[in-house]
Structure 1
């Protein structure tokens, strides 16, 4: 194993220290360095808090800032943040309007965020939105039902923009509930993940194999098969998503192609081009796009495709200004980009 690190046990803390130092105009550590928060909170705005294990960066810490998250809690690699981290984030970022917790549907994340929410009852108003966008993971390991994967970025962006616009806690909870059935993701991998603590890959593939239906914690997928060309892989992913969506001819959508950490950008754009053609051939209108490495699984070579329905409200909120370390936009790009 070759990695730029000192001790594996200190890797997450040292990485976060560098991240906060590099983006100090936008973010800062919260109390006792238990979480990362906006440097400037907005009084009277619902605080949006998310988090998860390290190894998925720039999710979640990269999306702390104007128009997205108020705070993000980071656990050890692929390990949920602890309830005390989440409680500290709630206590520090709730400016009076309550907190909305955005949680990926993994058992540890759900349990620890629930424990934190219960611990602050009576002091803070809390609502929770569970993200479960992985179409390939019904009943998968580490989750109850579908896992929350790359679609988490979309939820954080849209609900973050709504909170910035002044939507109250009940309205954000309702909007999050509507989004639950609108976001659909599937991932494939060409390699496993090398975990710093062990130095071993989470799964191994033969040179001519790929893993289909992977999550973002290095876990194996639903099955493996012989690797194919990009067109064939894209057809496999897109047909699975379309079978799950219930979208109709003429529906409008956002297309996200996300790298898992070890896939070069040109390959992501190549797959985006194929996926867009396939979805548009099925009558889906791709109105917005995002391509890049946003929700990772350390050094996994692989990618996911996410199709998200866009009604007028979601379209407006997706286009709203955002200023974070990993996603920045001041106004709508008329070319259809992010």
Structure 2
């Protein structure tokens, strides 16, 4: 597959330069780093930072803005940023009230972000963190839940970013974030594996007209492959697998996120959205907030993920609906 890039080794830096140019009213790049900051730096709130490896665009820099993130830190393709860069982002955003780190549950991400937290605490900063683990897919063979941090991370950005803007402390944000994460589940599928940055090698083998359940956002293969039948059949299976995570779901309210994984067209996403709508109506599941689009991608993987967030507190819905100038929300 041909990609519109220059030298592969320069791609991440050029992406960051490009987004800083196009979105210069909202964000700015710290030169020679993977750090992007809000151009309007608020001084009366806890700063909220997230990040990870590149390849998930528009995550995470697309969520910098009012009532969302104050900074993002990008590493190489599918490799998290160094602890030193995360520490630098903490130093540049902390206005005296502390910093909250939103971390996706991958070993390298957790290691580097927590090392940065340790460095920052030693330097006198107040830092809290939450680890997002919304993926409810299972390991092949053991069927243990993988609990990786995937598209639901975007809901965490929005809710905690809005709560920080309302003046919640680091401790309060951590408590809120942990409750939100416990109330959320995601499952992703692929109809075509993503490829390497040069486009000449597939991340995993998937035959034509097959679909892989439980794929990862770093190009990880799913736990089961089967023939693809239709969008409706897929929506039914994902909904069933997600709703079983909740007891008595007909008496609950949910927010849902339908997420394209890279090359799935908007047309396909809305066909799938319509199938989700019809099937949830049949199940008498109350959806009070819904979004469809490319929020957490995996380079050029063709596929889709579905996230369910139980609205435990009506205030969460207010936070989701709070206005933001973050360009990808």
Q: TM-score, normalised by structure 2?
A: 0.95
In the alignment, which residue of structure 1 is the partner of 2:18? 18
1:198 shift after superposition: 7.2
Q: Map Cα deviations across residues 123-158 of structure 1 (whole Å, 9 max, x no partner).
A: 111111110111114699xx9940010100000000
In the alignment, which residue of structure 2 is the partner of 1:183? 184
Instruction: Tell me, yes or no, if structure 1 residue 228 matches structure 2 residue 253.
Output: no
| 1:26-65 map, 5 Å | 26-30=26-30, 32-65=32-65
In the alignment, which residue of structure 2 is the partner of 1:336? none
SS at match of 2:182: coil
CA distance in 2, matches of 1:70, 1:137: 33
Greater alpha carbon shift after TM alignment, 110-119 vs 243-252? 243-252
| 1:212-223 map, 5 Å | 212-223=213-224
In the alignment, which residue of structure 2 is the partner of 1:315? 317
1:166 shift after superposition: 1.0
CA distance in 2, matches of 1:202, 1:103: 24
Q: Is the 8 A contact 1:30 1:92 kept in 2?
A: no
Residue-pair matches, total: 326
| 1:1-338 map, 5 Å | 1-30=1-30, 32-122=32-122, 123-137=124-138, 145-196=146-197, 199-310=200-311, 311-327=313-329
Q: Which runs of 5+ in 1 are unaligned?
A: 328-338
CA distance in 2, matches of 1:78, 1:177: 25
In the alignment, which residue of structure 2 is the partner of 1:335? none
Q: Which runs of 5+ in 2 are unaligned?
A: none
CA distance in 2, matches of 1:139, 1:117: 33
The CA RMSD measured in Å over matched residues stands at 1.8
Q: TM-score, normalised by structure 1?
A: 0.93
User: Residues 198 and 111 (structure 1 numbering): CA distance in 2 closer, same or farther, change over 3 Å?
Assistant: farther
Greater alpha carbon shift after TM alignment, 43-52 vs 198-207? 198-207
Q: Is the 8 A contact 1:187 1:303 kept in 2?
A: yes
